[in-house]
């Protein structure tokens, strides 16, 4: 036996030893609860007496797929995700481009932009709930003052505006996250391309489309996938702003209501499992498309 | 959790078992002045008996509070010894509580309203002692009604007319934030109470009757909820669709509403020295549905129950005895307008002086309409959620009352497997 292979083996061993704590923790906090939830989704477990749970096969899923309230929450979640992530990407990109320019006070500005992201969602959502209040909310007060409306709008109460209020709060909160990831991406771009473009006298807009955007694509894709995964699980902002209201109920809120309010652990777990599968499918499709785009694209 | 355990251990060690002092934790609501009164009452008991109390404050929304309790109790946690539970929960949570019938004498129990004692008795076990009772009431601004020459309304139609008139005139006079009527219509348990009052006052029944038959899909109920929907955006701000008790009281106590539907607790807060509407408040029973309708209020109220998982059940029961005693209920009635559950206190002159409406509206409290919690048992929460969601859709104009109630009846039918619950 050569010393080299012994060395490799001992290295592998110590690698496993170093990895083991993390793997154990992951198994405990991620794999085990997930497996348990999936198992419960095939039973009629009830929170008041978990030991009496019985295997019921696919009954929970059958019932779930015929429940119009579930489909409503699916639609709400998808609508929320697509609109809020698109807005956050566009705004985040604009802010990142602005912050990337050389100007005085840039450091201060970068810190300031992060503030919404630093406030816990529960706190900021409650803050927004007060600001959006129809009678004494500051937003209505300002809009009335400048004469856009003459009567307070009940942003979170009206089913037509409620989902938009939620989207706005989410955009306000997570655009900084997007901006920061994209700013990091922008700062990695090679300055040679820009110098070349400058010498050639190419219009800045064209530089953006032909140079910046393609080079930024990898960072952009990562940022978008982070946000997508997060948005599909949306719970806190909606729950604080509108509670169990069906007009804005997301898949997470639906699952929580079944699990906690109605004690129906089996059915609630089925909803959670479907949510998990939805996110998994989204991620896989997205990553596959991104990879195809990546290999077929004309950038390096 | 851990801290509580350590604290108990430290206290136990320091006293060295000589005095046998226990730390009892009690969960209290925090709507209005609830927490303050719970705290002072429990502290008084602690001083008297040499024990310690710890107050656990809980969410304002009854729906969320129940969820929290269910999680604590399902985990068999002894962190909370005494639970403050809603009048609709004994059936849902009863299996986690100690049967108090052996610890309270028959005289102690029968001093309370029999209907509430019966409500708190599950399978022959007294799972909770009545603490205070509630019924939905109509608050009105005496000064504004007088100024514009109106009497308190007898029917909902009258309320609507008066509210609209005063709202228009007050706005024209410069108070552009004035609204006619505020209540609770967020999609939560409180909307079930509000909507049941409308339906019952029009003669539309109680959603599910005592035999378990689903009765909600009827013309009277549709008429009632159609009326309720007509208030949104006219005499009531659209925001009521997201109001709970305290949001409604916020608008009311700032002087921005002519009428408000709320529980009795809002009385003493409105009469507080720093309240802008002090001495301008009148309280009446809620209006009738029409000439042949009736005046009604949803039965609310809170009970005290002792957890099976408590480490110190004897002390916990003693705390419940103290808090539900006539002396403590009287203190709470005078200071906080919490309606006693002890019949005799409704003739007590001190109580009637502090909260005159308790005497005037005695019938409203004793004849309040109950939510169908007993008959629907463990499914009550789902029934209530379906009902408040349907009501919310009707109130927000997304659905027509008769169609939505038909759909609701179908859902409840499916939920109950044909009314068998």
Distance from the A77 Cα atom to the nearest Cα atom in chain B, whole angstroms? 19
Nearest neighbour of A243 by CB, restricted to B187, B238, B250? B187
Q: What is the pLDDT of residue B7?
A: 47
The predicted model scores a pTM of 0.84
**B299-306 sheet: strands from edge to edge:** B52-57, B23-28, B82-86, B299-306, B129-135
Chain B residues whose CB is inside 8 A of the A246 CB are: 187, 389, 392-393
**B374 Cβ neighbours under 8 A, 6+ residues apart:** B91, B119
Pair of tokens at residue B117: 């004692």
Q: Encode pLDDT of A280-298 as tens digits.
A: 998 888 888 877 766 644 4
Nearest neighbour of A261 by CB, restricted to B240, B242, B385? B385
CB atoms within 10 A of CB B375: 22
Q: What is the mean pLDDT of residues B306-324?
A: 95
Helices (H), A132-235: 138-145, 159-188, 191-200, 204-207, 213-232
Q: Which of B96, B242, B380, B383 to mutate to test binding with chain A, by most A CBs within 10 Å of its CB? A: B242
Judge contact between B376 and B366, C-beta under 8 A. no
CA-to-CA separations, B123 to A50, A87, B90, B91, in angstroms, rounded: 22, 56, 11, 9
Q: What is the pLDDT of residue A147?
A: 87
Q: At what angle do helices A265-296 and A213-232 cross, to 10 degrees?
A: 170
| Residues B396, A159: C-beta atoms closer than 8 Å | yes
Question: Taking 60 as the threshold, does the pLDDT of residue B11 lie above it?
Answer: no
Distance CA B196, CA A28 (A): 46
Q: Which of B73, B94, B95, B238 to mutate to test binding with chain A, by most A CBs within 10 Å of its CB? A: B238
Q: For residue A189, what is the DSSP state?
A: S
> Per DSSP, which regions of B22-145 are E strands?
23-28, 52-57, 82-86, 121-122, 125-126, 129-135, 137-141
Q: Is B232 helix (H, G, I), strand (E, B) or coil?
A: strand
The pairing of strands B281-284 and B137-141 is: antiparallel
Q: Encode pLDDT of A95-117 as tens digits.
A: 999 988 887 888 888 888 889 99
Nearest neighbour of A48 by CB, restricted to B74, B179, B239? B74
Q: Provide the CA B34 distance to its chain's centre, in angstroms.
A: 12
Give the model's confidence band at B15: pLDDT under 50 very low, under 70 low, under 90 confident, else very high: very low
Which of B137, B138, B143 lies closest to B277 in space, CA to CA?
B143
CA-to-CA separations, B200 to B140, B182, B196, B224, B299, in angstroms, rounded: 21, 19, 6, 8, 12
Question: Taking 60 as the threshold, does the pLDDT of residue B17 lie above it?
Answer: no
Q: What is the mean pLDDT of chain B?
A: 91
**Chain B residue with Cα closest to A248:** B187
- Of A263-277, A283-297, B278-292, B313-327, which range is least confident? A283-297
**B60 Cβ neighbours under 8 A, 6+ residues apart:** B29, B30, B31, B244, B245, B246
Q: What is the pLDDT of residue B328?
A: 96
Question: Taking 50 as the threshold, does the pLDDT of residue B12 lie above it?
Answer: no
Q: What is the pLDDT of residue A294?
A: 63
Chain A contact for B261 (CB, 8 A cutoff): no
**Chain B residue with Cα closest to A258:** B382
Q: What is the mean pLDDT of residues B82-89?
A: 95
Neighbouring C-alpha atoms within 13 Å toward the C-beta of B43: 6
Judge contact between A113 and A173, C-beta under 8 A. no
High-pLDDT (> 70) share of chain A, %:
96
Question: Taking 90 as the threshold, does the pLDDT of residue B167 lie above it?
Answer: yes
Q: For residue B340, what is the DSSP state?
A: P
Nearest neighbour of B392 by CB, restricted to A135, A245, A261? A245
Q: Tell me if ipTM is over 0.90.
A: no
Q: What is the pLDDT of residue A298?
A: 45
Which of B29, B135, B3, B19 lies closest to B82 in space, CA to CA?
B29
Give the model's confidence band at B123: pLDDT under 50 very low, under 70 low, under 90 confident, else very high: confident
Question: Taking 80 as the threshold, does the pLDDT of residue B5 lie above it?
Answer: no
Q: What is the mean pLDDT of chain A?
A: 89
| Residues B67, A260: C-beta atoms closer than 8 Å | yes
Beta bridge partners of B307: B97
Distance CA A56, CA A60 (A): 8
Q: Encode pLDDT of B220-268 as tens digits.
A: 999 999 999 999 999 999 999 999 999 999 999 999 999 999 999 999 9
Q: What is the mean pLDDT of residues B313-318?
A: 95
* Sign for the pseudo-dihedral over CA of B44, B47, B49, B50: positive
Q: Is B260 helix (H, G, I), strand (E, B) or coil?
A: strand
Pair of tokens at residue B188: 């939560």
Which of A100, A66, A262 lies closest to A181 in space, CA to CA?
A100
Question: Taking 90 as the threshold, does the pLDDT of residue A126 lie above it?
Answer: yes
Considering only residues A256 and A107, tell me which one the structure prediction assigns the higher pLDDT. A256
Chain A contact for B312 (CB, 8 A cutoff): no
Q: Encode pLDDT of B125-153 as tens digits.
A: 999 999 999 999 999 999 999 999 999 99
Nearest neighbour of A47 by CB, restricted to B70, B177, B247? B70
Q: What is the pLDDT of residue B13?
A: 43
Pair of tokens at residue A292: 């195809």
Q: What is the pLDDT of residue A109?
A: 86
Q: What is the mean pLDDT of residues A42-50?
A: 84
Q: Encode pLDDT of A181-197 as tens digits.
A: 999 999 888 888 888 88
Question: Taking 90 as the threshold, does the pLDDT of residue A204 lie above it?
Answer: no
φ and ψ of B389, to 5 deg: -70, -40
Q: What is the mean pLDDT of residues B275-284?
A: 95
Considering only residues B100 and A194, tell me which one the structure prediction assigns the higher pLDDT. B100
Give the model's confidence band at B16: pLDDT under 50 very low, under 70 low, under 90 confident, else very high: very low
Question: Taking 50 as the threshold, does the pLDDT of residue A5 lie above it?
Answer: yes
Distance CA A280, CA A287 (A): 11
Question: Taking 80 as the threshold, does the pLDDT of residue A270 lie above it?
Answer: yes
Q: Encode pLDDT of A231-253 as tens digits.
A: 999 999 999 999 888 889 999 99
**A172 Cβ neighbours under 8 A, 6+ residues apart:** A116, A124, A128
| Residues B63, A152: C-beta atoms closer than 8 Å | no
CB atoms within 10 A of CB B360: 13
Q: What is the pLDDT of residue A244?
A: 86
Question: Taking 60 as the threshold, does the pLDDT of residue B3 lie above it?
Answer: no
Q: What is the mean pLDDT of residues A18-37?
A: 93
Considering only residues A152 and B376, tell me which one the structure prediction assigns the higher pLDDT. B376
Question: Taking 90 as the threshold, does the pLDDT of residue A52 lie above it?
Answer: no
Q: What is the pLDDT of residue A2?
A: 57
Question: Taking 80 as the threshold, does the pLDDT of residue A49 lie above it?
Answer: no
φ and ψ of B285, to 5 deg: -70, 155
Q: What is the mean pLDDT of residues B176-188?
A: 93
Judge contact between A162 and A248, C-beta under 8 A. yes
Give the model's confidence band at A222: pLDDT under 50 very low, under 70 low, under 90 confident, else very high: confident
Which of B321, B363, B303 lies closest to B118 in space, CA to CA?
B303
- Of A2-6, A132-136, A292-296, B382-386, which range is least confident? A292-296
Long-range residue pairs from A283-292, CB within 8 A, at least 24 positions apart, any chain:
A283/A225, A283/A228, A283/A229, A286/A224, A286/A225, A286/A228, A287/A225, A290/A221, A290/A225
Chain A contact for B407 (CB, 8 A cutoff): no
Q: Is B137 helix (H, G, I), strand (E, B) or coil?
A: strand
Pair of tokens at residue B276: 């802008």
Chain A contact for B392 (CB, 8 A cutoff): yes
């Amino acid at each position: 036996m050569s010393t080299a292979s012994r060395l490799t083996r001992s290295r592998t061993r110590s690698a496993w030893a170093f990895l083991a704590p993390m793997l154990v923790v992951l198994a405990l906090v991620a794999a085990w609860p997930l497996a348990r939830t999936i198992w419960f989704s095939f039973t009629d477990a009830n929170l008041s007496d978990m030991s009496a749970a019985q295997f019921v096969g696919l009954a929970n899923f059958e019932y779930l797929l015929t429940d119009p309230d579930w489909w409503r929450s699916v639609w709400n979640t998808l609508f929320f995700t697509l609109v809020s992530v698109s807005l956050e990407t566009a705004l985040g990109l604009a802010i990142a481009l602005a912050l990337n320019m050389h100007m005085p006070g840039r450091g201060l500005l970068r810190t300031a932009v992060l503030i919404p992201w630093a406030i816990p969602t529960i706190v900021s959502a409650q803050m927004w709930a007060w600001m959006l209040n129809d009678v004494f909310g500051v937003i209505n007060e300002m809009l009335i003052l400048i004469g856009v409306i003459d009567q307070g709008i009940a942003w979170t109460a009206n089913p037509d505006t409620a989902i938009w209020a939620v989207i706005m709060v989410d955009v306000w909160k997570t655009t900084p996250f997007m901006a920061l990831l994209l700013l990091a991406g922008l700062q990695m771009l090679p300055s040679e391309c820009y110098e070349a473009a400058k010498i050639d006298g190419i219009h800045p807009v064209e530089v953006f489309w032909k140079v910046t955007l393609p080079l930024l694509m990898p960072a952009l894709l990562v940022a978008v996938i982070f946000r997508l995964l997060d948005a599909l699980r949306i719970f806190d902002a909606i729950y604080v702003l509108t509670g169990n209201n069906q007009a804005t109920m997301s898949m997470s809120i639906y699952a929580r209501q079944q699990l906690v309010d109605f004690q129906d652990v089996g059915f609630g777990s089925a909803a959670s499992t479907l949510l998990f599968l939805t996110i998994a499918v989204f991620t896989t499709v997205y990553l596959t498309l991104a990879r195809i785009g990546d290999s077929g694209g004309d950038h390096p | 959790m851990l801290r509580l355990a350590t604290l108990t251990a430290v206290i136990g060690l320091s006293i060295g078992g000589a005095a046998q002092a226990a730390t009892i934790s009690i969960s209290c609501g925090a709507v209005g002045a609830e927490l303050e009164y719970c705290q002072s009452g429990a502290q008084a008991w602690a001083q008297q008996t040499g024990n310690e109390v710890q107050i656990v404050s809980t969410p304002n929304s009854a729906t969320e509070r129940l969820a929290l309790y269910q999680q604590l109790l399902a985990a068999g946690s002894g962190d909370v010894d005494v639970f403050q539970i809603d009048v609709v929960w004994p059936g849902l949570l009863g299996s986690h509580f100690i049967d108090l019938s052996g610890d309270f004498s028959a005289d102690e129990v029968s001093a309370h309203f029999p209907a509430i004692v019966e409500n708190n008795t599950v399978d022959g076990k007294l799972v909770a002692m009545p603490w205070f009772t509630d019924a939905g009431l109509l608050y009105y601004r005496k000064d504004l009604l007088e100024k514009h020459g109106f009497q308190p309304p007898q029917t909902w139609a009258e309320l609507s007319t008066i509210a609209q008139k005063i709202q228009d005139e007050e706005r024209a006079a410069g108070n552009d934030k004035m609204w006619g009527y505020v209540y609770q219509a967020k999609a939560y348990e409180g909307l079930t109470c509000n909507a049941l009052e409308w339906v019952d006052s029009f003669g539309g029944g109680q959603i599910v009757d005592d035999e378990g038959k689903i009765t909600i899909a009827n013309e009277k109920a549709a008429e009632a909820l159609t009326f309720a929907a007509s208030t949104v955006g006219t005499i009531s701000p659209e925001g009521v669709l997201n109001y709970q008790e305290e949001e409604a009281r916020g608008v009311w106590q700032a002087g921005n509403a002519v009428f408000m539907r709320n529980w009795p607790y809002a009385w003493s807060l409105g009469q507080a020295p720093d309240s802008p509407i002090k001495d301008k408040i009148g309280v009446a029973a809620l209006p009738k549905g029409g000439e042949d309708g009736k005046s009604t209020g949803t039965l609310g109220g809170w009970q005290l129950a002792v957890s099976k998982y408590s480490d110190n059940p004897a002390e916990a029961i003693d705390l419940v005895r103290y808090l539900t005693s006539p002396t403590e209920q009287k203190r709470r009635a005078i200071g906080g307008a919490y309606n006693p559950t002890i019949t005799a206190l409704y003739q007590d002159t001190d109580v009637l002086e502090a909260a005159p409406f308790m005497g005037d509206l005695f019938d409203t409290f004793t004849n309040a309409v109950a939510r169908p919690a007993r008959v629907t048992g463990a499914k009550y929460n789902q029934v209530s959620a379906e009902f408040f969601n349907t009501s919310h859709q009707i109130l927000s104009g997304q659905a027509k009352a008769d169609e939505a109630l038909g759909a609701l009846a179908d859902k409840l039918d499916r939920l109950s497997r044909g009314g068998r619950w």
